[in-house]
């Protein structure tokens, strides 16, 4: 018989384990033996996986547990808002309030508008002459963010939105984001002021962002809501324009 796996130097074993998908490492390989469990719970393996897959920025993490979470959070990082730019009409947006003539989707740059800073964004949602609001609730467990991760690590929840007015009309904009418990109690909340864009504005796109951290255990949902209207009460769609909304969970 050839040499057994236990007799391999630890550095070699770590390289072999690093080639295995992370979920299998945690769910299956940890159970093989004490040595494997210790390696998988240690920092060196995850540092190697981060290096191999170009996940940088973890250098500031001091302890082993953080390296493993950093790896998972980095790999999973994606926008949890569905249909952020109106490519699918109003699909995935709930609790829609259609004041005035209601929400409409238009192609960039739109009348009296400006191009968006990113070429990947082609459309936006636009509001009317009374308040238009829409919301989306993100189920963190369904997106793969397990309870212990949310309760113990409490990764950053980063919220971003983009808004603009037309250069020939004034408008209002609001953003409200809540972190909710299992029973949908509010554990943390961010509410922008009501932002007023004057009638003679340059129609440029503005990003607004907020980062939740140290929000305590129990967060299971994120509720994102935004909206606005015009200030002239013109029939049609002269209110605030919004697009490229995002919610990400980050290390």
pLDDT in tens, 224-240: 999 999 999 999 999 99
Q: Give the model confidence (pLDDT) of 111-129 as tens digits.
A: 999 999 999 999 999 999 9
In degrees, rounded to 5, the angle at the alpha carbon of residue 196 between the alpha carbons of residues 195 and 199 is: 155
225 Cβ neighbours under 8 A, 6+ residues apart? 95, 133, 134, 135, 136, 175, 176, 177
Q: For the chain, which domains are there?
A: 5-75 (1.20.1280.50), 94-249 (2.60.120.260)
Q: Which two tokens stand for residue 18?
A: 């690093």
The confidence band for 165, taking pLDDT boundaries of 50, 70 and 90, is: very high
Give the pairing of strands 241-250 and 123-126.
antiparallel
Can you give the pTM of this predicted structure? Answer: 0.85
pLDDT in tens, 51-84: 888 887 655 555 555 788 889 888 888 999 999 9
Pairing of β 171-180 and β 241-250: unpaired
DSSP string of 128-143, one letter each residue: -SS-EEEEEEEETTTT
The pLDDT tens digits for 35-51 are 999 999 888 999 899 88
Distance CA 11, CA 8 (A): 8
């Amino acid at each position: 018989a050839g040499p057994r796996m236990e007799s391999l130097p630890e550095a070699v074993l770590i390289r072999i384990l690093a080639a295995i998908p992370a979920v299998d490492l945690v769910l299956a390989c940890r159970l093989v033996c004490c040595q494997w469990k210790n390696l998988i719970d240690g920092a060196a393996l995850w540092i190697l996986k981060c290096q191999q897959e170009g996940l940088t920025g973890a250098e500031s993490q001091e302890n082993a547990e953080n390296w493993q979470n950093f790896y998972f959070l980095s790999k999973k990082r994606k926008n949890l808002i569905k249909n952020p730019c109106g490519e699918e009409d109003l699909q995935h947006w709930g609790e829609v309030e259609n004041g005035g003539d209601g929400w409409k989707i238009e192609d960039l740059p739109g009348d009296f508008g400006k191009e968006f800073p990113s070429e990947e964004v082609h459309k936006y949602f636009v509001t009317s002459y009374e308040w238009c609001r829409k919301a989306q609730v993100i189920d963190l467990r369904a997106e793969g963010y397990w309870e212990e991760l949310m309760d113990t690590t409490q990764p950053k929840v980063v919220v971003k939105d983009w808004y603009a007015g037309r250069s020939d009309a004034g408008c209002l904009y609001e953003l409200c984001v809540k972190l909710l418990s299992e029973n949908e109690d509010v554990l943390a909340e961010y509410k922008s002021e009501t932002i007023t864009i004057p009638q003679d504005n340059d129609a440029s796109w503005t990003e607004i962002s907020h980062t939740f951290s140290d929000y305590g255990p129990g967060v299971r949902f994120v509720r994102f809501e935004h909206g606005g209207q015009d200030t002239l009460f013109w029939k049609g769609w002269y209110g605030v324009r919004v697009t490229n909304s995002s919610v990400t969970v980050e290390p």
